Structure 1
Amino acid sequence: MAFTRPTGKHRRPRSAARTGAGMAGAATIASGVVATLASPAVAASQDAPRFEDTGLNQAIVIGDDIADQIDAQAVSQEVAAEEAQAKAEARKAAAIKAAEMKRKAEAAEKKAKAEREARERAARDAERRRLNTYVSPVAGSYVSTQYHATSGLWSSGSHTGIDFHASTGTPVRSVGTGTVVEAGWGGAYGNNIVIKMNDGTYTQYGHLDSISVAVGQTVTPGQQIGLAGNTGNSTGAHLHFEARTSPQYGSDIDPLAYLRSHGVSI
């Protein structure tokens, strides 16, 4: 009996069809009979839906697309992870740098503060020393009349202070830090100034030509308080200087020893 392939698409049989035909032939040889029933099977295998017609190829194509998409997504995720890691490392490096800059800034500020405090402390110490310093009441002068010198010129019979050589108009200075307790006419002393010193003693400046301070004013070592002159009971321009234990006349102490005890070289 002859079999004719139905008309239609003529394509090369799939390997699966070829395998089926081989199995049918093997069955015929084993039985010694022409297995006519195998022919319909072969025909059937020939007419079976081809691989190309089943949509399997499309499924495989779709599968490849998905694989490509998965690969692309994996690459994208890997790139994103690398970028995230790079950003994290950059943030960490920036944080470390910021912390180091902050540490340096704090160290610099601490150093500057210490230096500033040291300068201020040195300035205070220098000012303290200056305020505790004593100077001669007339710069570059010398003693022309000694303490307790005797003469009929003085009502007490002796000199209660020392005289510094000075012409009229020579600047007269406070010998130290203190507060003015008297500034004006002082009778025999003429224009005079009395200052209460910080150590509790008093100094007096007599026969002044003019006065440049007022009662209650604070003065410092070397500050000009007036000008030397020839006022009051005086035989010529000079400065009469006294050191006292109180502001009153008669409480005088050796003014030369007083100045020397405070570091003044005369």
Structure 2
Amino acid sequence: MAFTRATGTRRATGKHRRPSRLTRTTVSVAGVAALTTTGVIGSLAAPALAADDSLPADTGLTQAVAIGTSLAEKIDEQAAAQRQAADEAAAKRQAEAEAKKTAAEEKRKAEAKAKKEREAKQRAAREAERKRLTAYVTPIAGSYVSTGYQSGGSVWSSGSHTGVDFHAASGTPVRAVGSGTVVEAGWGGAYGNNIVIRMHDGTYTQYGHLSSVGVSVGQTVTPGQQIALSGATGNVTGPHLHFEARTSPEYGSDLDPVAYLRAHGVSL
């Protein structure tokens, strides 16, 4: 075999020889590096390295395609799972928002109902108080008229009775017949101890011959409130309550007391 020397390089003559195993291995490693660079996992080249060098040149493309397809499927599955998780999270948020909205609406309705009930109770209480303050009662509970209005006789200076007498033993509680303000409380001449009240409707009521007075001028009273005790003070022949209804606080402006009380809902 003859050798020629060119630029210091030794060149073999004759037929080209098959690349050595070292050369093939280097090529395979380069192929693996190329596959890794293009996104295929480096381990995919392992079969190529372990292949018998007696087999035809095996590039490993079949394995790479198969494994690449499996990886794509996994990526699709992950994407689908992520989409499902996102959809479930959105549905959960929507459900929570709807639940909050429903709860807020129920709370609003409950508060509106409670407010309406409070207002109804307040109206009922005001109405009850109004009725109580505008109600009238008899001046002596469970009593009766013993001497009628405008009865004649010498016992009265005017010649007739300017009020009515209610039967009552001395010391019997005397009540205001309605709500009003006391304008007179004390000695009243022939009436003895007496009280005059300006009623809420502008009329006046008078209570005479009292054994004791329990209110003072300027004091407000309510229907049925005890204001005195009956007695026999002043121009009387025995204990009882003299009751008058008037258009003014002065003597001589009298009204029929029975008709007055009945007009205000009192049964006599």
Greater CA radius of gyration, 1 or 2?
Answer: 1
CA distance in 2, matches of 1:176, 1:67: 101
CA distance in 1, matches of 2:148, 2:65: 126
How far 1:155 sits from its partner (Å)? 2.1
CA distance in 1, matches of 2:193, 2:19: 152
Structure 2 residue aligned with 1:219 = 221
CA distance in 1, matches of 2:194, 2:214: 11
Q: Closer, same or farther in 2 for the Cα pair 1:242/1:73, shift >3 Å?
A: same
Structure 2: tracts of 5 or more residues without a match: 1-14, 22-52
Residue number among 117, 120, 123 corresponding to 2:122 in the alignment: 120
Structure 1 residue aligned with 2:184 = 182
Structure 2 residue aligned with 1:79 = 81
Structure 1 residue aligned with 2:25 = none
Residue number among 57, 61, 65 corresponding to 1:51 in the alignment: 57
How far 1:206 sits from its partner (Å)? 0.8
Paired residue secondary structure (2:85) = helix
How far 1:76 sits from its partner (Å)? 2.3
Structure 1: tracts of 5 or more residues without a match: 10-46
Tell me how many residue pairs correspond in the alignment. Answer: 222
Residue number among 215, 223, 239 corresponding to 2:241 in the alignment: 239
The within-5 A match list for 1:1-266 is 51-52=57-58, 56-57=59-60, 67-266=69-268
How far 1:156 sits from its partner (Å)? 2.0
Paired residue secondary structure (1:204) = strand
Q: Closer, same or farther in 2 for the Cα pair 1:50/1:189, shift >3 Å?
A: same
CA distance in 2, matches of 1:7, 1:163: 149
Structure 2 residue aligned with 1:42 = none
Identity of aligned residues (%): 58
Paired residue secondary structure (1:51) = coil
CA distance in 2, matches of 1:207, 1:240: 7
Q: Which amino acid aligns with 2:116?
A: A
How far 1:66 sits from its partner (Å)? 5.3
How far 1:140 sits from its partner (Å)? 0.8
CA distance in 1, matches of 2:81, 2:64: 25
CA RMSD of aligned residues (A): 2.6
Q: Stretches of 4+ moved more than 3 A in 1?
A: 3-9, 59-73
Task: State TM-score, norm by structure 1.
Answer: 0.75
Q: Which amino acid aligns with 2:149?
A: Y
